[in-house]
Amino acid sequence: MTELVVLGFNSRRQAEEVWEVARQLSKEELIDFQDAAMAWRDDTGEIKIQQAVNAAKAGEVGGALWGTLIGAIFLVPVIGLAAGAAGGALAGKMADVGVDEAMVKRIAAQLEPGRAAIFALIRRSTPDKVVDALRPYHPTVLRTSLSKEREEDLVEALGVPVAV
């Protein structure tokens, strides 16, 4: 089952460091993300969002591949490529999988200027190793879809209070 975990950080730089730590943990197969996003408020209060995966772009690439293949079968690969890319991009945009953008914007709007948050939909993980890697960054648990007991365990393991 996929779980949502939203962690808050004192700065964008700190969140970016954790973003890289998470990418490394993923390469080591210690965590498997369905999706992830990072949001921050700059010093002027403007909200910025960075998605880990652009669904439209991923759909476009997959659609282009399939379109070219189908186009090659019917001896019109260029048309197949264009139609596949357009169809894939549309399907990617319409597919509502991953971190909910409206929720990201809502939570980001509550951040103080200069602060950041990482949103992660996690398929599976090795919790003790992931927590050990995150603990030095002192993240604040902003929101989760974990059970109350598991959320309390996460907060205790990270050694930081839950944000209200």
Q: Name all domains of the chain by residue range, CATH numbers in brackets.
A: 3-51+99-158 (3.40.1520), 55-94 (no CATH)
| Rounded-to-integer distance, Cα 6 and Cα 141, Å | 6
**Rounded to two decimals, what is the model's pTM?**
0.72
Query: Are 4 and 36 contacting, i.e. CB atoms less than 8 angstroms apart?
Result: no
Q: Measure CA 34 to chain center.
A: 7
Helices 127-134 and 148-158 cross at an angle (nearest 10°) of 40
pLDDT, tens digit, 9 for 90 and up, residues 1-20: 789 999 999 999 999 999 99
pLDDT in tens, 86-127: 555 444 444 445 889 999 999 999 999 999 999 999 999 999
Q: For residue 122, what are the β-bridge partners?
A: 3, 33
Pair of tokens at residue 10:
């004192």
